């Protein structure tokens, strides 16, 4: 283990956290310590917000095409460190290297998309009811945006927020998850090498709970963009409501894949495997429920069992491995407890259902990929976000029951349906209460430029990854010009 110093970026300078508190990142496959960092406090938050406010008057007047060109350079810098960044993510949070590389690719794609928006920051010209008057609308940056992001996609989820904030003329204070601090450091260094001016992006390494609370309630913050648990998101929304600070929340999900009797079962099985077990199920869009019509239950389960039992678990840097560890021992304990409770409630373990001590990685946070049968749509395991490699299989008689089961949770992020019926495909697009609906594809196949976000407890109505992100990052001004 090594010790990293000066891992906070404040006002263009790399500095130490103000207090002596330290934290250690660990490889979840081995349990071994990776790096020691300083933990930011509320004092560091104040300094970062002050730096961002100082930089804002100049940055907001930088022409939008120039801000877009900066993001084009950022994309080039990320390309240059793609392999190092992906490997660091895998070491810190465990997912397989191919997925980490894919995350860097998605980040670069988002960067290039938002760079293009520097040339398309369009307003409107509206007709006036009065003679000799022109009416315009323009978008102006809100000021300082606080970005608070999780560990499961340590750079992509941050990038969706940061790039939209920068191209629209805002300054950023970013608090990443502590256990992926190395990934955040590499990403921020790429922003600096691309020429991001001092104070425009500020990084707070690690940080205790009070640092996150201070950032989300800071009077110098003009908007908050958060991805994480629904419970924390609600607390942030309550805090922001007191000052009417705009907040974008991308929260949890209890996503389902519906398989109707006319579906291509091989295609459905592929979509389920990818959606359920990629990132070891630690995605807000992970498919933790499969809702299957009874007439095709057995052949679908046979195919899923065959594929699940072929998965190879191990260290994410091993190219032969399909499934890495859970990100932390705490997450492992939570998943194990939820599965145990489901079995006590009557669920049948079809495969998996246990912790794994792999011969080469006895101290790793591994959990066997798990399929649970005899699950009712109202069971706790079918209602609670697991955030692990666990799928609850729910049997239904027809399309109507499938939709009712899908919509029975408090969440509404991503849903999918497999069918060859144009009739049911179009009905599902309307009937499934989710912010994202896929037909004949899994629940985790979003693309840059397309609005992403959820309904109900999966979000607060805002969308990311697209121009709709500007609804939080900018103020819409109407200008009346009489002549």
HSE of 46, CA atoms in CB hemisphere, 13 A: 5
Closest Cα to residue 154, out of 230, 205, 222? Answer: 205
User: Which tokens in the block code for residue 17?
Assistant: 């956290």
Residue 202, φ and ψ in degrees, nearest 5: -125, 135
C-alpha–C-alpha distance, residues 84 and 107, integer Å: 14
219/214 Cα distance (integer angstroms): 9
139's CB contacts (< 8 A; 6+ apart) are 121, 123, 168, 470, 474, 475, 476, 477
Q: C-alpha dihedral over 363, 368, 374, 379, to 10 degrees?
A: 50
**Are the beta carbons of 275 and 241 closer than 8 angstroms?**
no
Residues 6+ apart with CB under 8 A from 432: 403, 406, 407, 415, 417
* Type and span of the H or E element at 15: strand 13-15
Strand partners, 3: 36
* Structure token pair of residue 354: 């246990």
The owner of tokens 């081995």 is 30
From the candidates 77, 250, 385, 464, give the one annotated as an active-site residue: 250
CB atoms closer than 10 angstroms to residue 219: 8
Question: What b/e string do you get for 67-91 counting C-beta neighbours within 10 Å, with b at 16 or more?
Answer: bbbbbebbbebbeebbeebbbbbbb
The single-letter DSSP state of residue 407 is T
Annotate 222-277 with DSSP letters as a single string: -EEEEES-HHHHHHHHHHHHTTT--EEEE----EEEEE-TTS-HHHHHHHHHHHHH
Q: Is 250 a catalytic site residue?
A: yes
State the pairing for strand pair 144-148/223-227: parallel
Point out the residues that are catalytic: 250
């Amino acid at each position: 283990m090594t010790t990293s110093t000066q891992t906070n970026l404040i006002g263009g300078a790399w500095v130490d956290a103000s207090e002596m508190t330290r934290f250690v990142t660990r490889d979840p496959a081995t349990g071994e310590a990776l790096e020691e960092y300083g933990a930011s406090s509320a004092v560091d938050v104040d300094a970062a917000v002050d730096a961002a406010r100082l930089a804002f008057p100049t940055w907001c007047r930088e022409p939008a095409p120039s801000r877009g060109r900066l993001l084009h350079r950022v994309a080039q810098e990320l390309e240059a460190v793609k392999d190092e960044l992906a490997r660091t993510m895998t070491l810190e949070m465990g997912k397989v290297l191919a997925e980490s590389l894919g995350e860097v690719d998605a980040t670069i794609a988002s960067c290039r998309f938002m760079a293009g928006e520097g040339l398309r920051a369009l307003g409107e010209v509206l007709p006036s009811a009065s003679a000799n008057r022109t009416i315009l609308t323009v978008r102006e940056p809100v000021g300082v945006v606080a970005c608070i992001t999780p560990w499961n996609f340590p750079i992509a989820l941050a990038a969706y927020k940061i790039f939209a904030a920068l191209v629209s003329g805002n300054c950023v204070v970013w608090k990443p998850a502590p256990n992926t601090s190395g990934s955040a450091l590499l990403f921020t260094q790429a922003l600096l090498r691309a020429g991001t001016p001092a104070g425009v992006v500020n990084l707070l390494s690690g940080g205790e709970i009070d640092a996150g609370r201070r950032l989300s309630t800071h009077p110098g913050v003009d908007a908050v963009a958060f991805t994480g648990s629904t419970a924390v998101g609600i607390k942030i929304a309550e805090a922001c409501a007191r000052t009417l600070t705009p907040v974008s929340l991308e929260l949890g999900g209890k996503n389902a894949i519906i398989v109707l009797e006319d579906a291509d079962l091989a295609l459905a099985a592929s979509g389920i495997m990818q959606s359920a077990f990629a990132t070891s199920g630690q995605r807000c869009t992970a498919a933790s429920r499969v809702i299957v019509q009874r007439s095709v239950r057995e052949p679908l389960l046979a195919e899923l069992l065959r594929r699940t039992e072929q998965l190879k678990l191990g260290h994410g840097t091993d190219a032969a491995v399909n499934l890495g560890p859970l990100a932390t021992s705490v997450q492992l304990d939570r998943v194990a407890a939820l599965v145990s409770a489901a079995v006590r409630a009557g669920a049948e373990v079809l495969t998996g259902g246990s912790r794994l001590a792999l011969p080469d990685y006895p101290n790793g946070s591994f959990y066997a990929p798990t399929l649970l049968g005899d699950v009712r749509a109202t069971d706790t395991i079918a209602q609670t976000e697991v955030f692990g490699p666990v799928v609850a299989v729910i049997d239904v008689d027809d399309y109507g029951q499938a939709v009712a089961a899908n919509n029975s949770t408090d969440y509404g992020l991503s849903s999918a349906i497999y069918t060859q019926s144009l009739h049911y495909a179009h009905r599902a697009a309307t009937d499934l209460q989710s912010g994202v609906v896929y037909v004949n594809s899994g629940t985790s196949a979003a693309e840059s430029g397309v609005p992403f976000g959820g309904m109900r407890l999966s979000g607060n109505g805002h969308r990311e990854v697209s121009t709709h992100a500007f609804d939080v990052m900018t103020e819409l001004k109407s200008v009346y010009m009489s002549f």
